[in-house]
Every structure is written in C-alpha cells, then in structure tokens.
Amino acid sequence: MKNILSANWIKSPKLSQECEICYTKQFSTEKEVKNASLEITSLGTYVARINGNRVGDQVMTPGWTAYRKRLQVETYDVTDMIGAENKISVGVGPGWKGRYFTGNERCAEYFLGVRETALICALAIEYADGTEEVIVTDDTWVTELGKNVYSDLYNGYKYDPLYVDPKPMDAVVFPKDTNILIDRDGEKIIEQERLEAKEIIITPKGETVIDFGQNMTGYVEFKVKGNKGEVVTIEHAEVLDAGGNFYRDNLRSAKAKAEFVCDGEEHIHKPDHTFFGFRYIRLTGWSDEIKKENFTAIVVHSDMKRTGHFECSDARLNKLYSNIIWGQKGNYLDVPTDCPQRDERLGWTGDAQVFIKAAAYNYDVERFFLKWLADLRADQRPWGTIPHVIPDIFDCDENSSAAWADAATVCPWQIYLSYGNKELIETSLQSMKDYIEYIEMQSRDGIWCKSWHFGDWLNLDASDVGKCDIGTDKDLIATAYYIYSSNILIKAMKLCGEDTAEQEAKRETSILAFRREFMADGRIKPEFATQTACVLAVHFGISDNIAETAAQLNELVTECGHLKTGFVGTPYLLHALTDNGYAETAYSLILREEYPSWLFSVKMGATTVWEHWDSLREDGSMWSTDMNSFNHYAYGAVADWMYGDMAGINVDENNPAYKNIIFKPVTDSRLDWVKASVDTRMGTVASEWKKADGKTVYIFTVPVGSTATAYLPDGEHVLKCGVNEITV
Ligand code: BGC
C-alpha cells in the first residue's frame, strides 16, 4: 500500500445511507501498459469493476474491522483489465454498517463520524516506457445512486437493473486522515461452495419454498426473467415450523430479503453487499416457472484452510461433527460471530473464546484470529476493559463480562499453542496485563465481585426459561475465570522472559479466596453446587482436591442424568469428567440423544449447532420467537473433546504447534472405532483406534520433526516419526 495515501476520501453529496452509491471515473491510456494495480478500500462494502469486469474474487470487501482505527486496503493486480478507453466503477453499499438491531440510533452513525458510505482508491499504471500515472479518487469522480436501490446487511437488498440515477453528481472530497488504512491482515472472504436446491416445497400455507438441505451462510444466485416491472422476492429462513410452514420469526427485525426488479430480460443474479444465514428460501412474485436448477446457494466464508477431520463408528456423532464444521463456516465470515442470520451477527467475545480450540483443529485460523485480535486490542479501553463484541459497535466500555472478555487471554494463547506464534503473545501481552489489572480493580479480597456478567449463559439450572444468565453464581464464575486468565498471563509472561512472582501471588490470593468462599472439604458448597461450578473448579485447577470435586461433578451429572451447563460450563464439561476418571459419564453425555444433549438437535434433523439445547422442541415448538438461532457454534466447542479425547490428539503446552504431540485417546465400549487427523505446521498428525478380537488397535501418525508420546491403558509409549501401530 503506497499510492492510496495520496488519494482523497470521496462521498456522494446525496444523503444516502441505505442504498448503493456508484463512483465512476473514465480515463484513457495512449501508451503500452506494463503493470497496473488498484489499491482500494471503503466505508461500507465495495465491488469494483474496470470496463465492466469485476476486480478480484473477494466478496464483502474490505471486511469488518475496528473501523475507527483500522480499515483494510486491498491491492489488486489489474494489468490485464486496462485498455485504451477505460471506465472504473465502484459500487459501495452500507455493508457492516455500525448498526445493531435495526433502528438503533445510538449505533446508526457510520464509522468515524461519517454516516454515508465513502470510497478511497488509487489506480497506479506503469507504462512500458518507464513512465507512471496514478489515478486517485478526487472530485472529478462522478457519483450516482447504484442499481442496489436498497441495501442493508440485515434486511437484504433491492436490485433494479434498469435503474439509472437521473442526476449523477460530482463526488465530494472530505477530510479524513489516512492513518487508519492498513494492508489487509485477515483472510480473504471468498465464495467457497455451491449448493444445489434439494427440493421445491409447496407448504400447507400454499407458499413456494426451496430447501437447500443445509443451514449455511451466503446467498442465492438465481436465474430470472419475469415480466418488465415485476418484483420477485427471496426471503431467507433456517427452519420450517411445526406445521411445515416457512418460519422466520427468529430473525427478529432482520428482514433477510432479496428483491429483484425484472426487466423482461434473462439475468443471473446474486447480491453484492450482504449475506444471509439460511437453509430455506420463500419465493414470491415469480411469474417464471420455478425450477430447481435456477437457484444455487453460494456458501461464503473466510478463506481458511481446512485442517481437521474426524470420524467414528457412530453416524450420529459424525453428523454432529459435520454440524459443527458448518457452524464454523457460517460464523467465520471475517469476524467470529455468534450467529449469521438474525439482527446480530456480531463478534461476541465469549462465543469466540469458547470455540477457538475446536476451530483451530478444524481449520487453520491463525490469520483469521491475528486480524480479529488486532481489532480486540484496538477496541480495548485504556483502563483494560474488553467490549462484549469486537468490532465494538456497542461502544461499551465500562464493564467486562467474565468468560466473554477473557477472549483477550484465551484466544492469543490458543493461537500460540496451535501454531507456535510467539510474536502474537508478545504483541498481546500488554493487552492481557491491562485486562487482568482491570479485573483486579473490580475485585475484593481476591473475588471478582464488582462487575456485571452474562453468567453461564443459557444454562438449564434456572427453572425460568427466560432467565438466561441465572444459575451458577456469577462471582464464582468470574473469580474462576480470573484465575484461568491469570494462568494464561503467567505462562505468557514467562514465555516473554518476564518475572511472574507478583502475578502468581495475586492468583494465589484468588485461588484461596475461591476455596474459602465457594468450597468446603474439596467440594463446591451446596448453595453454589452446579455442574458448571464443579467444572470450573476442576478444569481450571482451582480446587484443592480435584478428585473430590470431579466426583461431585460426576454425581451431579449422573443424578439428573444429563448436562445442565450453559456457555461457560459446556466447553469443559466432558474434559473435566474424562481427565478425572469419568470418561464413561462423558461418553454417556455425548451419546445421549434425548433433550438436553448434543445429539438431540441431530435427532431433530439439525444441520448446524443450535443456540439452545432445545431451540426446536420435540413437539415442533420453538424455544422462543426471538433469541433462537439455529446456527450458533458455542456448544460446538465439544469438537475439541472429540479430537483431543476421543481421538486423543493434543498439543504439548511446553512445546506447542505439535512439535511434541501428546496422544491420549479414550475408548468406550459403545464405539467400535474413532479416527481423526490434523494438518499442522509440522505435517499431518493422525490418530485412530479400533476394536479387534477383544483388543484395541491404536494407529498414530507422527510427522517428521515432531516427537510424540502415546498414553495408553498399558502405559506410556514413545513414538517414532511415521506410522506407529500398538495393540493393547
Ligand atoms: C448472542 C450470544 C452472546 C450473548 C451474550 C446473544 O445475543 O447471540 O451468543 O454471547 O448475546 O450473552
């Protein structure tokens, strides 16, 4: 990035917050072009064309960052697109407008105090004779209202191919420094897969609905002709209701609608500035015959490389695993989001941190998180708080919630463990320290007691379904998380060669306070005893008698026969059991298919992981009409147990990035075989076990350059590089 620094920010003189603005510039070249590159970014999402041809294959550019401080610039090689007479045109839509819940004025300001969309770009042309020319955005560019006559991330869009702005106007240059411009640091956002329509359904209400067979994130490409002036619409939904009718109440205020104004000509069309979370679409206003082949769902997400694979002898678990993968695809579209469909789609820190370990097995998420963590640091307040969502469009700075804000420690550390990125730890260290210091200010005698928290979000301890955050004591959760994050900070400081004595002393104070306040005789006191409370005391190593607290956890689970945990307890529940001799209970939980369980949604036909254990109930009713996403990856965190315990593939904290591999597979009589593999920085790591003649055959693959140990029922086995087969 260099030429863009001499370009100007331009916008349309028309106040236009909810449509696309098209910026154009014509120019001619008389000499032979040797090289041409376009540096570009926008406030809003842009689609650039030169002489009618789309520049690059990325969508939803420039992605979503902490716009006030960081805006990504892409550089495209456009050498082959330049001719003698040229027209560059850039359509800019609102995209990730700084708005949450349609109509929330507090967030309606665009980025950086600008309410309208805006563009900045520079086209540099190097001629064969050695001369150079740079065309930059300035007031000679023309602006028109674009053919996306309505455009909104949540509501969708209306596209009119015949629309021509009757009054194009010169662009207005406005002052805005270029300090926020950075080269793209995230993954590209790319169209990844194309899904054919599975079925055309005429619902009991008589509506025409197409089922793509998979809940996903992206948009529909469709072929349409229609009669001139006719408006065809496509609305998006994740599920059908109990009566088999199109259901979209759970999208809340997001209209998630595509409208196309027919001109009587045949078009193949897809949107430019939005995406949807859906499995079904409802068609209205179509006079064309509805044919399956005219509709294709295009899956869009960040261009991460798939690294992990898991399979076992139980088809239901394989389906759960597939649902988790789809959850990641659907919610890793530039920012790790809670859900991709309703009027939210935000980078909720809690969701991101509970899922990151699973995510890093499934895909190479290093670059994806380097970007998001840069945004987290950019949005962190000087006094240490981490906003609930990153990028922070809530403008929330007074409070950090335990288990959400801990993304500041958990996420960098996981990226370090999975990929060995020590530089990220160095870069994140101050942010971690500031956050921990904020907690210490919010604590009294080692108990983090002064902040508001989301608690064990969506747990089943509270009898009142509407009370999502009631259940496990919030000070207990917060203090446990302080200890967990302190553990990470101490490891990070050690890695950076810093003295940790003071931090260790503070952590010790909290550990003792936790035990004093919430525990007695190695058990969580009865008034605080929930599954999640035990899970945290065990998994974060806080209890002074881990075996006893784990036994209490096992009792709590076996007494009621199922899990009751929410966002905070669920990710570690099976680990806490398996690590302490209760693998059979852990397996019973993951193999259970009655509500509440992971397999309940699978039994109910889910193709992604749900927000609630009972988003859809057996009788066909819904958890609620509002907060009810069918594509929420948080509970999909269990995939890290599937890789790490069922298949037994683990990194060694002291020698990360799979330089030393710890294989610890845990078998169960209800499964015949399990196999998994992960493509790591060292090469492919694989683990497999299968039952044969009353014995278990283990097969481990260790990449060249790695060391590995397998911990099996008969003891430790030091493995060699290549394939190792051991029968026990
Ligand atoms: C989101 C969650 C998020 C939560 C905060 C919800 O609306 O969808 O996933 O973490 O708010 O508790």
Task: Return phi, psi of residue 103, to 5°.
Answer: 95, 0
In a 13 Å sphere around the CA of 483, the CA atoms on its Cβ side amount to 23
Residue range 303-311: mean pLDDT, rounded: 98
Q: Determine contact, residues 103/68, Cβ cutoff 8 Å.
A: no
Residue range 165-192: mean pLDDT, rounded: 94
Which residue among 343, 346, 351, 474 is best mutated to probe the pocket of ligand 1, counting the most ligand atoms within 8 A of its Cβ? 351
> Each residue of 336-395: pLDDT tens digit?
999 999 988 999 999 999 999 999 999 999 999 999 999 999 999 999 999 999 998 877
Residue range 230-238: mean pLDDT, rounded: 98
Residue 14 CA to residue 286 CA, distance in Å, equals 33
The catalytic site residues sit at: 344, 611
pLDDT of res. 322 = 98
Ligand 1 contact via 336 beta carbon (within 6 Å):
no
- In angstroms, the Cα distances linking 361 to 68, 325, 657 are 32, 10, 11
Place of tokens 């335990």: 402
Ligand 1 center to 351 CA (angstroms)? 8
Ligand 1 contact via 339 beta carbon (within 6 Å):
yes
Ligand 1 contact via 338 beta carbon (within 6 Å):
yes
Q: What is the DSSP string of 101-170?
A: STT-GGGTS-STT--S-EEEEEEEEEETTS-EEEEE-STTSEEEE-SEEEEETTTEEEE-TT---SS-EE
Is the alpha carbon torsion for 596, 599, 603, 606 positive or negative? positive
Ligand 1 center to 349 CA (angstroms)? 9
Ligand 1 center to 23 CA (angstroms)? 37
> Each residue of 575-592: pLDDT tens digit?
999 999 999 999 999 999
Q: Determine contact, residues 184/56, Cβ cutoff 8 Å.
A: no
pLDDT of res. 393 = 83
Helix (H, G, I), strand (E, B) or coil at 646: helix
Place of tokens 């969506």: 458
- For residue 21 the two structure tokens come to 């603005």
pLDDT of res. 177 = 75
User: What is the average pLDDT score of the chain?
Assistant: 95
pLDDT of res. 398 = 76
> Each residue of 61-102: pLDDT tens digit?
999 999 888 999 999 999 999 999 999 999 999 898 755 544
684, β-bridge pairs: 679
- Among 308, 312, 314, 298, which residue's Cα sits nearest to residue 328? 308
Instruction: Identify the burial level of 178 via C-beta atoms within 10 angstroms of its C-beta, where 0-12 means exposed, 13-18 middle and 19 or more buried.
Output: middle
Under 8 Å CB-to-CB from 457, ≥6 apart: which residues?
Answer: 350, 468, 469, 566, 567, 568
Ligand 1 contact via 235 beta carbon (within 6 Å):
no
Percent of the chain with pLDDT over 90: 89
Report whether pLDDT(267) > 90.
yes
Range in 213-217, 419-423, 466-470 the model is least confident about:
466-470
pLDDT of res. 570 = 98
> Each residue of 484-514: pLDDT tens digit?
999 999 999 999 999 999 999 999 999 999 9
Q: What letter represents residue 68's amino acid?
A: R
Residue 87 CA to residue 649 CA, distance in Å, equals 54
Q: For residue 114, what pLDDT band results from cuts at 50, 70 and 90?
A: low
- For residue 535 the two structure tokens come to 């899970």
CA geometry: angle 438, 443, 446, nearest 5 deg: 120
Q: What number of residues does the chain have?
A: 728
pTM score = 0.97
Ligand 1 contact via 350 beta carbon (within 6 Å):
yes
In a 13 Å sphere around the CA of 332, the CA atoms on its Cβ side amount to 32
pLDDT of res. 236 = 98
Q: For residue 103, what pLDDT band results from cuts at 50, 70 and 90?
A: very low
- For residue 277 the two structure tokens come to 């979370």
Ligand 1 center to 298 CA (angstroms)? 26
Ligand 1 contact via 348 beta carbon (within 6 Å):
yes
Which residue among 399, 457, 609 is best mutated to probe the pocket of ligand 1, counting the most ligand atoms within 8 A of its Cβ? 457
Ligand 1 contact via 344 beta carbon (within 6 Å):
yes
Question: Helices then strands (H, E): number in the chain?
Answer: 13, 40
Q: Determine contact, residues 181/68, Cβ cutoff 8 Å.
A: no
Q: Whose CA is nearest to atom 8 of ligand 1?
A: 338
In a 13 Å sphere around the CA of 485, the CA atoms on its Cβ side amount to 29
Ligand 1 contact via 688 beta carbon (within 6 Å):
no
All structural domains of the chain: 3-154+165-184 (2.60.120.260), 190-302 (2.60.120.260), 308-646 (1.50.10.10), 651-727 (2.60.420.10)
pLDDT of res. 38 = 98
Ligand 1 center to 276 CA (angstroms)? 18
Instruction: Identify the burial level of 449 via C-beta atoms within 10 angstroms of its C-beta, where 0-12 means exposed, 13-18 middle and 19 or more buried.
Output: middle
Ligand 1 center to 388 CA (angstroms)? 9
pLDDT of res. 622 = 87
